[in-house]
Each structure stands twice: as C-alpha cells, then as structure tokens.
Amino acid sequence: MKQEHGGNGTRKYGMVIDLDLCTGCGSCMVACMAENNVPFREDETDKLKSITWMRVYKLTNGKPYPETDICYLPRPCQHCEGSHGHSPCVSVCPATATDYDSQTGIVSQIYTRCFGCRYCMAACPYHARYFNWYDPIWPEGMEKYLNPNVSPRMRGVVEKCSFCFHRYQAAKDKAYLDGQKEIEEDAYQTACTQACPAGAITFGDLDNPDHAVHKLKKQPGAFRLLERLGTNTKVYYVSSREWVRRAGDNYLKTEGPKKVV
Amino acid sequence: MKIDRRSFLSLGIGVAAGTALSPLPWKLTDDLSIWTQNWPWTPVPEIGETSHVNSVCTLCPGGCGISVRKIEGRGVKIEGMTGHPVNQGGICALGLSGLQLLYGPTRIKTPLRRIGKRGEDRWEKISWEQAISEIAEKLDVLRTSGNSHTIAGIAGSRQGTVSQLFKRFLTAYGSPNFFHTPSCVDTYQLAFQYMNGVSGAPGFDLENADVILSFGSGLLDGWGSPVRMFKANTAWRKANAHVIQIEPRLSRTAAKADRWIAINPGTEAALALGVSHVLIKELLFDKEFVDSHTDGFESFVTSKGEMKKGFRQTVLENYSPETVARITGIDPSAIILLAREFAKAKAPLALCGKGQGIIPGSLAEAMAVHALNALVGSVNRKGGVFPMPETEIQVWHEVAMDSVAAVGINQTNLIGAPPNSPCGTNQIPAAILSGKGYPLNALFVLESNPLYTMADSKTVRDAFDKIPFLVSLSSFMDETARYADIVLPNHIYLERIEDAPAPTGFPKPVISLSKPVFKPQFNTKHAGDTLILLAKEMGGAVADAFPWDNFEACLEEVMGDKMKTLQEKGFWVDSDAAIPDWKAAFKTPSGKFQFSPAEATLGFVPVAIEGDSTFPLLLIPYETMRMAGGYIANPPFMTKTVEDTILKLNDSFIEINPKTAQSNQLSEGDFVVVQTSRGQARGRVHLEEGIMPGVIALPRGLGHTAYDGYIANKGINANQLIGPVQDPVSGLDAAWGIRAKLSKA
Amino acid sequence: MDSALIPNGVRRCSLGKFLVPLAVVGAVLLWGVYAMLLCWFKGLNQTNMNDNYGFALWIWADLAVIALGGGAFFTGFLKYLIGKDELKHIINYAVLIGFICYSSALLILAIDIGQPLRGWFIFWHANVHSMLTEVAFCLSCYFMVLTIEYIPLILENRQIDKVPFFHHLSHNMHGTMAVFAATGAFLSFFHQGSLGGVAGVLFGRPFAYREGLFIWPWTFFLFTWSAAAYGPCFTLLVTRITEAVTGKKLVKDNVVELLAKISGWMMTTYIIAKIIDTLYWANVTAPSKGFNLIDFYSNNGFYGIWILVMEIILGGIVPAAILITDKGRKSPVVRTVAFVLAVIGVSVNRWVMVLQVMAVPVMPFDQWALYYPSWQEVATTILPVAYGIILIMISYRYLPIFPQEAELNPAE
C-alpha cells in the first residue's frame, strides 16, 4: 500500500475533537483568545459580532423534557482543503489575503493585506471568520499581556483561527536549530489542544501514521462538519451519539450519517 | 501673458496629467495603505526573552498548578502546569484569564479611605502607614473599652496560612468571630464528624470509582477541583465508568453523564434513602463492610435505655420505592434499577453538594448520601470516600492571650454559637439586624465579597450598614471593597507567595506554592504582611503572637522542610499518605462507622424553602464553568464565552421549560419580572427543554454592581432573590432555591 | 440666468424652480455623505452588518444598480453592434443612467470595504480565482468606458461646444463610439457575469451554489442575461419618470416600444432559463447537499416561498408577458407597470442572491440570521439615488440628452 506520508516534508495538520469528552467548559475558547490577542469589548453578547476563533456551539437533540440531550461542539476554523487547496474562502479572496499553505494544510490570513471585503465570510459555511467591526482597544495596562508572536489586528479586516501558526513556525525553527528533520508531535500543538482539560482535542499531522490523529480520525463515530459540501475539512469530530453525527451535516429525511457498528 | 480661458484649461489639464504621471499620487497611495497597517492606536507587543514560571492558581479552591509564560517582565499567558498532580497540565477558562485580573482595570492601586457615602465610590488615597495606624487606633479603642469580641473577620478561604494568620490575629486580639466563605465541605465535615467520628474534609477517590451517583453535584460545572474533575470524567469515559446525574435541570454535568435522572428539587436525600431501601431489601449491600465496620445499622438500645431504630429499619419502613417516587417524582422502577446498578458496580460512589458546592446544603442529605456509600462499602476504601486530615498548623506557638483577649475569645460568637461551631457565616446579617446579642463594631473582609456572594443581598447590605467600620483586604474594587471604609489592597495570587493546601475533594494531601511570578503592579501589600504589620502596630500581646518579620518568614516556619520541595517543584504531595486503616478510620464511640449518630437523625427532612402558594414556581440558581461566581468576578475573556441565551446586552435570561412558559403565556426572549419573597428582578426568559416544568433557573456570577464595565450591571445576581435557610441541625445555609413567580414586564 | 447654458430649441423651468428641488435632493445627499464619512472614519461598526451578514444592504444595492445600469451596455450593443438605429434617441439617457449606476456601485464598494485605503490591493494582489477580482477589473474598466461615453455628451453643452477643441473632440469621440460600445458590451458581459458568479461559486452555501460551465456557474450567465433583459426596463422607467416630472414627451413611442419589445423577449428567454436553473437546483444541486427547496424558505420570519414567487412570476413572467405582446407594450400605463415589475423582479433576484444567501443556516445547528440595516446604511444607500437624481437634473437641464425633445415639444 502506498504510504500516505511522503518524504517531501509536506504535512496536513488537523484536529480530532472527541465530542464525548468535550464538556463545553470554554477553556479552549479562552486559551485561544489569550494566545492570539483576540480583542474584547464591554458587551460581547451579540455573538454575531463577537470574535471567537474557537467557538463552542451548544447542540440539542430537540426532544422534550426529560428526553432532552445536549452536546457541545467546539468549532475552530476547519482549514478546508476543498479540492486541491481550493477551500471556500481561499478561492474567493480577491486580494490573496487568505491562502492555503500546501506545506502544512493551514489556511492563512494576512491581516495587513486584507482590505475587508468580507467575501470570505460569505463563503464560509462554518462562520469561522470574524470581521473587526471595531478598533481593538485594550483597557489601560492590559495591553501588557499581549503575545508578541501574534500581531494584534486592526479595524476593518477579517481574522480567524490559524491553528496557532506562530507555534508551528517556532517549532519549525527549533527543529531546524536542533538539527531535526521532523517536527515532533509534541513540539507543535495549538493553544486550545494544550488547554483542553478534558483532553478532547488531539492535534497533529493527519497524514503521519506516527501522530495520534492519524488513527483517531478513522475511528467509528468520526465525522466532519458539512462533509457533503465538499469542503474537505481537516477537523474531525467523534461522537458515539447518532443525533450528534446527524447534526454534523444536512440530510434529507431518507438519508442519515454512516452507521457506527 | 494674458491667461485666456483656453490656456487656463490647457494648463489645468496639463497639471492634472503631469501629477498623475508623476510618482507622487502612487507614493501617497502606498504610504496611506502602509499607515493603515500600523495604526498608532493598535498596540504592538514588545518582543523579548521568553521564560516560564510555575505557580499555583488560587482563584478557586481547585488548586491547579499553572505555568506562566513571560516575555521579559510581562506575563503573556497562563497555562496548565504539566505534571501537577491535581490538574495534570489542564486548565480552566478562569485560570486562563488570570492575566486579565493582574492587569485589569479593577485592581485597587493603593490603600484608600472612603470620603463619600458608603458605596459611592469616592476615595482618598492614603499611605500604608496611615492606613495601618488608623485601623490600629480604632481597634485599640475597641479593645481597651472591653469590646474586643465585637469585631469579626470573614476570610475567603477556610484553609491556608493566610487564613490561619487571620484567625490568629482575631484570637490574639480577643475576638471569637472568625468566619469564612462557606461551602458544602462544611456540611460534609459535620457528616464525617458524626458518622466517622473524624474531622476532616472529604476526599473522593473518583478516578477509581466505576459508577458515580451524583446528587446534583456539578461535577463538570466546577464542583471540587474543576480541572481534576474534567480529567476524571475523561478517565471515566475511557474506562467505561458510568456517571448518573440526579438533578432537575439538564446541566453540563447531566448532559455529559451517561444518564440524567430528573428529580424534584430538594428531594435528593429521599432518593438516596430509597436506593438504600432497595439495597437492603434485595440484600445488595456490602454485608461484610456493614457487619464488621458499622454501627447503628440494626436497631439498638441507647445508653438511656430507649429503643432507637437502626438504619435498616428506618429505611425499610419509610423509604420504599413507591414512597420515594411520590417525593422525588422518579418512577419506582427507575429507583430499583438505579439501586441495582449502583450495587453491581465494583467501586460505586455517591456524592452530593449541589452545583459547585458553594451552598453548604442539608446535613440530612449529606448523611443520607454518606450512608449510601457506607452501605456499599465505599467508605474508607479505594474508589470511595474518606476524610482528609485537616492541616492544622502545629508549629506556631500558642497565642499567649492577655486578659482582654482571654475574656473576648470566650464570648459566644456573633451568631450566638459557642466557639468551634460550624461556620454560620450565612447567619451574620440576621444576627446583626436582630439586635440580639452584641453589636458588631468592625468587620474585616479578606479576599471575599459577602455583599455579592451572600444570599439575600438587601439584608446583607442592611446589616453592613449597621457596622460602623468595614475594612476590605481585596485586590479588586468588588462590591464589598466599594462599601468599605478603608481598603487595604492585597497582592493578587500572581504577585505573592502563599500556600494552597488541599484542593477541594482531592483524595491526596497536596500543598502547592503560589509564587510571586510578577513584581507587584501597584502599591499593594500581601494580606499576610498587612496582618503582621497591623499586629505589630497594635503592640503588646497581639504583636507577640506575630513574631515574624514578614509573611514569607511565617510561611517558611509553617512549611518547615516541605518548603524546599515546594520551592523546587511547586507542589508537595504526601507520598506516604494512604487510606487510613480501620482503626484510624472511625473514631466514633463504637470505633465503627455510625449509621445512627446521636447528634443527628438520618432521614429525609425537606429544606423549608421560602415562599407560599402565591409563588407557583421554583427558582434554582446554578453554577457554570463559564462564569466565576464567588469572590472573583468574571474577567472579560470569560464573559465573552457566555452564551447569548444566558446574557443578552445587560439582561439575564431565566431558564424555563416551554410548557411552563406556555402556561404563563411567555415566549422566548420575553421580558419578565421574577419575584420572590426576598426581592425581584427584571430579566428575560429563555425556553429550554432541559429543565423540569415548574422550575426556573438562573446562573450565578452575573448581576455585579461593582468591578468594571466588562462585568458590572450585567444581568441578575441570584442572591438578590434568594435567602438563606438554616439547616435545623448544622445551622448552615441549606437553601437550594426559593419559590418564585414570573410576570411579564 | 443660466439660459446661456441651456441647449438650443428646448424649454427649461426657471432657475429658482430648478434650484429648490435640487436643494432638497442635495440635503438628502449631504445626509448620505455624512453617513458615508461616519463609516469611513468610525468604521463599519456604524452599520448593522455582522459576521453572518458580511454582505448586506450595500452589496444588494451594488448588485441591483449594476443590473439596472445594464441598460447602458445593452442599448449600446443594440444600437452600435446590432444596428438598431432608432435607439440613438434613447442611448444618451441609457449612458447617463449607466454612468450613474456604475459610479454609484464603485462608491458603495469604497464604503463597504473595511479598509478603503487599501482597496487597490484588489488590483495589486489580485487573486485570479476570485470572482470579485474579475468584478473589480471589469467594473473599473467599464466605468472608464462609460465615462468616455458620457464625456461627448457633456461636450455638447452649448457653451463647451463653442470651444473648437471640444467640438472636434466630441465629434471624433462620437465617431469611435461603436468601438467603445463593443468594449463596454464585452466588459459588461464579464462583470455582470462575475457578479453572478460571486454568489454562484460559494460551494459552502448551498442556497447560492450552482453548477456551471468551465469556471463559471450558471448564475454567471443568468446575471448577464438578466442585466441585459432588465436594464433597458430601468432606462425606460427612468425616462418615463423624467417625462412625468418634466411634463414633456421626451422619447417617441416607437423607440420606447422597440426597446421594450427587445427587453420583453430577453426577459422571456431569461425567465425560462431561470426557471430551469431553479428546478435543477431545487431537485438536483440542493438535495445532493442534503437540502430540500423548502428548507431555504421556512422556519424564519421573513424568507418565505413568497419571495421566489415574487421574483419569478411577478417580477419575471408577468412583465415579460406584457412586453412581448403588442397590446401590453403599446399601452403607456400597462408597459409602465411592466417596467416597475421588472425592476422589482431583478432587484429581488439580487436581494435573494445576497441577503438570503447570508440568512440561510448551513450547519444544522445554526440559526437563521435576520438583519436590519442601520440608518447609516440606509443613508449611504440613498446617497447614490440622490446623487443620481442630481446628475440627471443637471444633465437634463444643460445637455441635449433627448435628441427628440425639441421636435416633440416645439417652441411656441
């Protein structure tokens, strides 16, 4: 069988999120905000204007009390590959401000090139992209905690989860200095993965058999969000609950997700 | 040359064309776009050398190890500390937001003296010397007039050297009035005292349990040590352990549990006894344990010669599944199945303490649950529950009380209870307002915010109005600090050295060391140092009780040889600690586990929830991981994670079942007034299937009136609406809710 | 006072009577300008747009005015390339309306983007895969073409025409206008199409997504086609309004009827194509992604199936039927009704392709997002309307826009 992981140094970073383990505690959201200098305002209750690169959705099975069930679903940028890197957003950006990196499979966002047309947001079915409607303002003194590895954005541009790309760069530099060819699995982990107290998020090279995600993505109950749209995402979810898997995509009445044996 | 129209036009066109062809417009366009990429009002974080400092988070009693990433002197991120025994690298949303507290706008920057009316938030800055001498003077006057007992202290934490030092200060001064923020641990402690005969906080060996029966404990909503609980939950999933959650609302914990059993609120004890009934009736209980290690299972004759019913008889007579079904609303067959599943488990474990356990709760309930554990032999064994030895500070020399202190300390305390009674902090406001007993002349509040966290806000405030002198040792301008006469700003946890002992519920003795990761940001002082300074300023016997130069010296003495390990590793675990042997386990008169202690009777005693039939609904406050509900108010990051079905603009949502909503003619988002016998508030309704009809729920952590614009005046503080209900035996607050009504606003 | 500027052989109202409405519209314009400045200086937080509604009222207005301005290229195409010479009597006005529409469209885009000062990155860092890049290039080029087409009209002003240079320039430009008309038609074909492509390529949005030919989704062709079909209706409607306001007949009925007839037939073919497209999408494309047609039109407070009926039947089949029949076309009232319906029809189409695309939830656990524009958005959307009215007022007063005016309204 052909080995999936070529020796050409290309990687395909992705996530497997175990929804059975996720408790919806919000650590991933905050870890992401803290790591990536995500701004905040006095009122963040308008979720359609609240920048949360990682957002935890609360899904319900819609059944009446007491048959009701809830599942929490963390939603980072899905880093769609589409076909040949034509993810929904990358292909529409008029100024090449967002791009699909074939070396890592990460969908980048260049804030200083984005001029804020928001076409990418219209293209993204996951609402993973956020526009800076306001100038990011930190209350006096709080700018001290800003992470220098991630540049704060300016008003009028789109931002989104980068799979903590700066951590990849740091890991790559370190591997280079240490004379290693490969970036160790541990050496590059996203802030949300690291923070998750439930260990629900696993991150790594989906194509590398040595990485945990390689196996986890194939387990029964694994699915991707809106797979039928052909977005070819790199974030996998796992759930033992059928209704949750069904909520991961749109199905006609006669259809349904793959059965888990 | 005369400029005619024609040449003027040509000139104009020529100039325009020339400018367009010159590099000028292009350069300007380029410069402008570059300018938009470097707007001066968008901060550019400075780069520098990165370092990591390990410490411990004390924002909640969880005691997680943290690793703080620093760039030069600034902190840029707090992460979980790998290898810490409690959280094993994990971290919660609040812990991650710590730097927003460190650098946040609500820090108190210097000692303050009130100049406006109380709570008006008008202050004058004073020096530390001034503040200390002023307080010492006030205290001295009280002391010399024989009123030393009329001061009180409320500490945020029941454990730790600073709290002990606070208590010591009051002792040396001559006041029996040391209180702390209560929790379910207080009730558990009593249950242990009565049934095990041992004093200690409970340790739950949850990781080794395989059927976990939770009577409303918010295992994934911040109960115990939150991150440890998330780790435990993951371990349970992987080990196929079963979690059964019993509560009227589909909480985060219920949603993640293998089974959610909805129960009429407040009837958990009845269910525990009902399960016991089935276990006994079907002979499913751990006979060996009951026979050899327990007492009071069978009926017996007391020393006074009276016949007293044993546990078996009590339960068999009064708690049949049918009876319990009537009380709890749970099907009899479900109760039987539940009991069988519980009994069948290798290591079943039942626990209680609703939500995060911030309300002490009913003693009868804790005892019923503890008895259930005993029935299956899950007391004092692996995968079970056992008391953790209290870390009483042994090394300090006894306070040499002068005559004033000796008199003061022997007075009954503020709430009329003898010394060493359970901590009835909840009874303070009523005691003050009743006018019985003695008046309270001064109150010191250390890292706690009773004006916000105590039930029945209005009464608490009325009571505080009667206290002539209020001192807050808080780091933040919280509700209580804002109401104080003098504020002595404390370092926050990231700026100070401190011990963080025994994470709640953790089954191993652990002490972590909080280190000064950062230099103090403002003109603040370690509360430990403040207390020492104050004692020294007082002079005499009070000063003698505080022989240390500073808190660090004091802590070193307390920690002794553990200090080295603490400094090096950041934590100390008692590796020799083991589950106590049977002899040490039970110190009751019989030396056995006592099913029928003399102090309290086992049985279902409903908590007398306030409100009559004019309040048709039951309001239950609940806790969530997305909201800090205690002394710490939500930092901006956390508030950002709060769903818009909980808070929208400044309005809280009251969770209600669609059926209840319909019968009240309410639909999603309607504005309502929620009213109880204690108060009323305006909010909106959110329809949720996951709540029992007839019950409405409100999250804790909102409705602050102090702090900053990121949290102040958002939503409803549940404490406005609810009052404390004293447990008949312990006197602790057992109110799980209150009757309420909704009307359209 | 300004009689020296007024074209020969026509009558205009007094300057005072002209200035009063101009001032009123000017006030509205200023209001729009104020809102525009707010958006530029304070940012797009002045709008009610949000992360679900990244495209909203403005983009709809943008698409709508471009579709309505399609009368310019299509009339030009008919006159200069097909040789429908009668249309020379209305081509000036078509060009003017086109110029207004396209300059408005560009202005809207400049307000709509979050970083207007970097707007030129669309050319500098152009991504050839993006439909918006294609739009930007073609739109800008076509705007230049329209400007070139509009200039000779300005030069025909009585006073400017007196300058020999301008007189000759104007003459020569007229001579080469066919080339520009051809260029315009070519460019329009692409940008109208790529505007359709903007929605059609969104494979993450099943409500918008369409299969297509090569890189172009069907919406590409439908948009071009609909602009060609509906644009002339807008030209005719504005002409009709101008006639009503001035109280004069400005264009002869045979010209109007000719353009209306062509428009009617274009609309007929378009609406057949649109129905086929809708059927295919409803029965093949959407179900393949797990959606039934009705999923896009239910469970929300606004987007009911009525909107599809309104677009296709009321705004498509009805006006097309009116305009292709002699009787309908020849009655001034009925054909005006058809124009109005057509304008509504194409506007609804553009609305649906922008706002409903944003509103429809794609993730099953997502919710419908409804949106109300802020006053700043409304004001900036009205701004181009006010600007257009002013430009029409000034152009009509001082330029010989309608060649048949003098003949139809002989001086007493």
Mean pLDDT for all residues in chain B? 93
Calpha distance B469→C23 (Å, rounded): 69
Q: Among candidates B336, B346, B341, which has minimal Cα distance to B281?
A: B336
pTM, full prediction: 0.94
Q: Say whether B43 and A152 touch across the interface (CB within 8 A).
A: yes
User: What pLDDT does residue C162 have?
Assistant: 87
Of C390, C288, B5, nearest in space to A229 by CA: C288
Q: For domain B206-383+579-594, which architecture applies? A: 3-Layer(aba) Sandwich (3.40)
Q: Do A145 and B99 touch (CB under 8 A)?
A: yes
pLDDT in tens, B43-87: 999 999 999 999 999 999 999 999 999 999 999 999 999 999 999
> What is the CATH code of the structural domain delimited by B617-744?
2.40.40.20
Q: Which positions in chain C touch A132 (Cβ < 8 Å)?
A: 114
Please identify which residue in the block is written with the tokens 């109760």. Answer: B335
In C155-184, the residues whose Cβ lies within 8 Å of chain B are 163, 165
Under 8 Å between Cβ of B95 and B59: yes
Residue of B72, B109, B244, B689 to mutate, testing the A interface (most A Cβ within 10 Å of its Cβ): B689
> Count of CB atoms within 10 A of residue A20's CB?
18
Tens digits of per-residue pLDDT, B527-565? 999 999 999 999 999 999 999 999 999 999 999 989 999
B151 and B138 Cβ atoms separated by less than 8 Å: no
Q: Which homologous superfamily does the CATH classification assign to the domain defined by B50-102? A: ADC-like domains (2.20.25.90)
Residue B380 Cα distances to B171, B474, B667, angstroms:
35, 39, 50
Question: What are the chain A neighbours of B521 within 8 Å (beta carbons)?
Answer: 141
Strands (E), A34-173: 55-60, 70-75, 98-101, 106-109, 130-131, 158-159
Distance CA B148, CA C194 (A): 84
Q: Does A139 touch chain B (CB under 8 A)?
A: yes
Identify the band that residue B260 occupies on the pLDDT scale cut at 50, 70 and 90: very high
**Contact: B6, C165; criterion CB under 8 Å:** yes
Return the SS3 of B241.
coil
Query: Cβ distance C6 to C396 under 8 Å?
Result: no
The pLDDT of residue A2: 37
- Whether the pLDDT of residue B455 is over 90: the answer is yes
Please determine, for residue A203, whether its predicted confidence score (pLDDT) is greater than 70.
Answer: yes
For residue B114, the SS3 value is: strand
Residue A236: what pLDDT?
98
Whether cis (ω within 30° of 0) applies to the bond prior to A66 is: yes
A127 to chain C, minimum CA–CA distance in Å? 7
B612's tokens: 């009559």
Domain boundaries, chain B: 5-37, 50-102, 112-182+395-496+517-559, 206-383+579-594, 617-744
For residues A63-80, give the mean pLDDT.
Answer: 96
Asked if C362 and A226 come within 8 Å (Cβ–Cβ), the reply is yes
Q: pLDDT confidence of A1, banded at 50, 70, 90? A: very low
Q: Which residues of A touch C205 (CB under 8 A)?
A: 122-123, 125
For residue range B662-683, what is the model confidence (pLDDT) as tens digits? 999 999 999 999 999 999 999 9
What does the alpha-carbon distance between residue B269 and residue B278 come to, in Å, rounded to a whole number?
A: 14
Q: pLDDT band at B701, cuts 50/70/90? A: very high
- The interface residues of chain A toward chain C in range 82-101, judged by CB-CB distance below 8 A, are 82, 86, 88, 90-97
Q: Residue A252 is nearest to which of C115, C206, C290, comparing CB atoms?
A: C290
Neighbour subunits, B (≥3 Cβ pairs < 8 A)? A, C
Q: Are A29 and B639 in contact (CB under 8 A)?
A: no
Task: Quote the CA–CA distance of A31 and B91 in Å, as a whole number.
Answer: 9
Tokens in use for C399?
């330029």
The type of residue at B679 is G
The pair phi, psi for residue A131, each rounded to 5°, is: -100, 140
d(Cα B35, Cα B57) in Å, to the nearest integer? Answer: 41
Average pLDDT over residues B286-307: 90
Do residues A240 and A20 make contact, with C-beta atoms less than 8 angstroms apart? yes
A145 with B74: Cβ contact below 8 A: yes
The Cα–Cα gap between C275 and C287 comes to: 17
* Mean pLDDT for the stretch of residues B439-456: 96
CA-CA distance, B30 to C123, in Å (whole number)? 13
**Tokens describing residue C118:** 């970097």
More reliable by pLDDT, B299 or B656? B656
With beta carbons less than 8 A apart as the criterion, state whether A194 and A35 touch.
no
Pick the CATH number of C49-371 from 2.40.30.10, 1.10.357.10, 1.10.10.10, 1.20.1630.10: 1.20.1630.10
Residue numbers of C between 128 and 147 with CB closer than 8 Å to A: 129-133, 136
Q: Which of B93, B658, B693 sits opposite A27 (nearest CB)?
A: B93
* Neighbors of chain A by Cβ distance (3+ pairs < 8 Å): B, C
What are the tens digits of pLDDT across the range B179-212?
Answer: 999 999 999 999 999 999 998 889 999 999 999 9
Asked if C102 contacts C146 with a C-beta cutoff of 8 angstroms, the reply is yes
Q: How far is CA A182 from CA A2, A177, A191, B656, in A?
A: 20, 12, 21, 54
Q: Mean pLDDT, to the nearest integer, of B346-356?
A: 95
Phi-psi region of C60 (alpha: psi -120 to 50; beta: other; left: phi over 0): alpha
**Alpha-carbon dihedral of residues A191, A194, A196, A200, nearest 10 degrees?**
110
Distance CA C406, CA B5 (A): 31
What is the model's pLDDT at position A261? 63
* Residues of chain C found within 8 Å of residue A116, distances taken between Cβ atoms: 44, 113-115
Residue A5 has pLDDT above 70, yes or no: no
Give the other-Cβ count within 10 Å of B334's Cβ: 15
Do B37 and C116 form a contact (C-beta atoms < 8 A)? no
- For C39, residues 6+ apart whose C-beta sits below 8 A from its C-beta are C46, C47, C111, C376, C380
Q: State the nearest Cα–Cα gap between B480 and chain A, in angstroms.
A: 22
Closest approach of B33 to chain C, Cα-based (Å): 5
Which residues in C lie closer than 8 A to residue B29 (C-beta atoms)? Answer: 120
Nearest to B266 by CA among B386, B368, B375: B368
Domains by residue range for chain A, with CATH: 13-247 (3.30.70.20)
Nearest CA to C59 out of C69, C49, C51 is that of: C49
Residue-averaged pLDDT of chain A: 93
What's the CA gap between B696 and B620, in Å, rounded?
6
Q: Which of A36, A145, A196 best probes binding to B when mutated, by most B CB atoms within 10 angstroms?
A: A145
Closest residue of chain B to A148, computed from CA coordinates: B45
> Closest Cα to residue B390, out of B560, B581, B163?
B163
Check: complex ipTM more than 0.85: yes
- Give the residue with greater pLDDT, B313 vs B584: B313
Burial class of residue B435, CB neighbours in 10 A (0-12, 13-18, 19+): exposed
Compute, in degrees rounded to 10, the torsion defined by CA atoms B17, B18, B19, B24: 130
The yes or no reply on domain B112-182+395-496+517-559 and CATH 3.40.50.720 is: no
Task: Provide the pLDDT confidence category of residue A7 given band limits of 50, 70 and 90.
Answer: very low
- Per-run averaged pLDDT (10 residues), chain C, 412 residues: 84 91 96 96 95 92 92 89 89 92 92 93 92 88 89 88 86 83 85 91 95 89 94 94 93 93 96 96 95 92 93 96 94 95 96 94 93 95 95 93 89 67
